[in-house]
Structure 1
């Protein structure tokens, strides 16, 4: 990820969120007309998804805006969890929508119904695919610059929209041109299931952020590898990591030469923090120095998290 100023990063994220809102408004208007013309349950599902996209995009904008606020006296660790709270709100809306679409699809399977105006419905879906592709491309450019979790989530959701629009086209073609009238409600059920799966994934990620889940193992290992390259670090233990919105936090105990003065230990920690800042930009680090050989209350030595050193010895 290229290094950019915090203000530029926030501006890019806000721009991507506004583009998402504009796209959702356009698609909601277009699909409302198409649903009225076709009477398709699959198109209704696509409309509901676009309506949720609009609400989700508004929540993303608010979440990104709040998360970008600097830490203050009441929020010393910043406001990053606003993104996770916005995601929880989105998940509840998605779950409600999936339930409603599934109910209508089951009703149509039991009582029967027929779609109409396939040409208009297919044309609308093709337009939606083109607009969505343009938005996804712009979001990926922003993600490459900012690595925003909120924009990443929005991007994944719009990728699923491509599949939903393709499903609408397939449902209309099979229903009206191939004569299989159950295709539309069956595709409607499939869309409801897809929305429910997306809600589950979104909820899982949001809960991970709210519960301060540890970094993935490979990232923790990379962090320890950087520490292990410093010759004056004798060991590391009690490593704790978490992510809050766009912000990452790490704290750990670091074993050092017990003969170092307080000033020398302080200078060493500053040097370690500078190295970590180069490898992990934007990560807030808190280091507690321990004299080498100290064993903590649980009987864990500080050297235990640097196994490569042990193997070399």
Structure 2
């Protein structure tokens, strides 16, 4: 099994896990909301409902991005990952604003909101945290292995769910023990801030990729070191990179001895390309060969 096939299967497994967990959490939190009426659980439910929509969209994007290049998409379909990640950011942002607005309205209201069935709500949130932790650990492992932007964004989003879930447990416990229901709205407001900040981070990464921002400076520096020390290469210039989903497209001009044969020059360029891809498997590399001193 080649590297690309392995990465695709890992990304799909992460997408399927995300959809499955989101479905379970939506069902559990619907029951908990009906039992308790807690705004902190409503905030968590809204987030999980968005998780479900985003996870389905992310899985579709992963499947589409895995399609090979064709006549209409010579560089493949990996930009679909960035479009999906940008959509994730927008959905999360809207969710955060709505939840925050509702929380502020409750805090400013003179009429206290009664909460009920706190013990059942706490049990649901504990299960939610355990499922979310398991999913995040798997997604982070896949993202480290494949560099997939959709999986990384989904992992960040689910990670941001953990603190609000813990806060919801605290709010329900305080309400049950001391009858202080305002804590519920404070937790929801804090969750909305986290959602908005996370949305900005997710959206910026996707937007940068769609605008052809260069790759990570550390990756660029690593490629430069490989080329600088490579046998037969006298220099290089015009190293350019751009991101598209989990792929990094690299273009570089190398300077070679003009008196060597075409076969020898080709062998050096091909060997350099293989070396870069071995070091950075997410890269798609094009090597241009120029005569040293005549560029």
- Match for residue 115 of structure 2? 115
CA distance in 2, matches of 1:15, 1:274: 28
> Where do 1:19-168 residues align within 5 Å?
19-111=17-109, 112-168=112-168
Contact 1:102–1:188 under 8 Å retained in 2: yes
Contact 2:164–2:188 under 8 Å retained in 1: no
Deviation at 1:144, TM superposition (A): 4.8
Residue 230 of structure 1 aligns to a residue whose secondary structure is: coil
- Match for residue 266 of structure 1? 266
- Match for residue 284 of structure 1? 284
CA distance in 2, matches of 1:87, 1:119: 36
CA distance in 1, matches of 2:51, 2:201: 16
- Match for residue 255 of structure 1? 255
- Per-residue CA deviation, residues 62-86 of structure 1 (Å, 9 max, x unaligned), is 1100110000000000000101111
Residue 94 of structure 1 aligns to a residue whose secondary structure is: helix
How many residues are aligned here?
Answer: 293
Contact 1:115–1:175 under 8 Å retained in 2: yes
CA distance in 2, matches of 1:52, 1:83: 17
Deviation at 1:269, TM superposition (A): 1.0
Contact 1:4–1:145 under 8 Å retained in 2: no
CA distance in 2, matches of 1:141, 1:102: 32
Residue 64 of structure 2 aligns to a residue whose secondary structure is: helix
Deviation at 1:4, TM superposition (A): 4.4
Deviation at 1:162, TM superposition (A): 1.6
Root mean square deviation, CA, Å: 1.8
- Per-residue CA deviation, residues 249-278 of structure 1 (Å, 9 max, x unaligned), is 100111112323333322221222222232
- Match for residue 232 of structure 1? 232
Question: How does the TM-score come out when normalised to structure 2?
Answer: 0.93
- Match for residue 190 of structure 1? 190
Question: How does the TM-score come out when normalised to structure 1?
Answer: 0.88
Residue 75 of structure 2 aligns to a residue whose secondary structure is: coil
Contact 1:67–1:246 under 8 Å retained in 2: no
- Match for residue 217 of structure 1? 217
Name whichever of 197-206 and 98-107 sits farther off: 98-107
- Runs of 5+ consecutive residues of structure 2 not aligned to the other structure: none
